Chains A and B, each alone.
Chain A
Amino acid sequence: GIQVEQSPPDLILQEGANSTLRCNFSDSVNNLQWFHQNPWGQLINLFYIPSGTKQNGRLSATTVATERYSLLYISSSQTTDSGVYFCAVGRGAQKLVFGQGTRLTINP
């Protein structure tokens, strides 16, 4: 099956800093999503981005499908950005496979 690897596993930053999270995957996919899991366990869909670039406020994501990676950018971090960020991929009707997550901590 498809393997998903996220880096870094942990990231600690000061408020206002920028960050880049990476997701590598082992096979071609046509579904890639980035999720943010908040401290209450809720999984929030950030981007559905099997290819290309998208932006939503301070967050943006880029997927280079031919090179099998995706990047999530967070600019001007806020404490509410803290939590675990998951990348998940799938192909066709196959099930979504999750990476192990990046735990982001934003200190005030």
Chain B
Amino acid sequence: GESVGLHLPTLSVQEGDNSIINCAYSNSASDYFIWYKQESGKGPQFIIDIRSNMDKRQGQRVTVLLNKTVKHLSLQIAATQPGDSAVYFCAENMRYNTDKLIFGTGTRLQVFP
């Protein structure tokens, strides 16, 4: 299938293990953060979000952690499955423009049996 990117940072994990994908954001004024999953040939798909007044938010099998001190965001995926294989992007939302998303570079997650 098509490839979103050929030279992305890649994380390889075994099926069933936990995955941690990291992201550094740039603007200390950002107050809303989103993780997107992008499969080959598809557009980004919303996974989970977090506001800057929180440092942790949990969803189904996913957890987002926010460290505003060092401007760091992470996505944890529990019991990683083959269907989790994709490119993951973090995006930040600028406080003064609530509709403008700034996307990070992306990390490719590969799940092997």
Chains A and B come from one and the same complex: no
Residues of A within 8 A of B (CB): none
Residues of B within 8 A of A (CB): none
